[in-house]
Amino acid sequence: MTLKDRITEDMKNAMRAKAAARLSTIRLLLAAIKQREIDERRELPDADVVSVLERMVKQRKESISQFTAGNRLDLAAAEQAEIGILEAYLPQKMSEAEITGAIDAALAAAKAAGASGPALMGKVMAALKPALAGRADMAEVSARVKARL
């Protein structure tokens, strides 16, 4: 069962359970997935569905910071609830030790390939992105790689 199929089944279950907030969030997610499928004219594999999920979570985190700054804690709480629903579909997050190990391996491979300077950062991130996508915050990984260089 693909991730999209699982999301569709969860939408049906939310309809049956009359869970309005969950249903609304899942419908938004399916609409975003469908829009990307239409834009790209292809069925999205699970990796692309995960990228849609990550983008939606990131948007909600930005909204929370804006709502908190505007003293709209009710709207921030609603966005936080949506994040909880969306994160249930994301893959399990990697531990700090696993991320550090992946960074070490990518650095060693890039240095062995002869990369140095700014090109080294690009090579390392290019190697890490497919392995860590959806399982780690790539901005945090990038900051950790920069600190190591």
pLDDT tens per residue, range 51-98: 999 999 999 999 999 999 999 999 999 999 999 999 999 988 888 999
Residue with tokens 């949506």: 82
Q: For residues 56 and 66, give the distance between their C-alpha atoms in angstroms, rounded to a whole number.
A: 15
- Nearest CA among 138, 109, 143 for reference residue 123: 109
Overall domain count for the chain = 2
69 and 104 belong to one structural domain: no
Domain hosting residue 116, numbered range: 96-148
Dmax (CA) for the chain in angstroms is: 58
% the chain with pLDDT above 90? 62
Q: Residue 86 is encoded by which pair of tokens?
A: 């969306």
**Cα end-to-end distance, the chain, whole Å:** 41
pTM for this model (two decimals): 0.78
Same domain, 108 and 78: no
In the predicted model, is pLDDT for residue 123 greater than 80? yes
Do 18 and 80 fall within a single domain?
Answer: yes
Distance CA 146, CA 118 (A): 10
DSSP state of 45: P
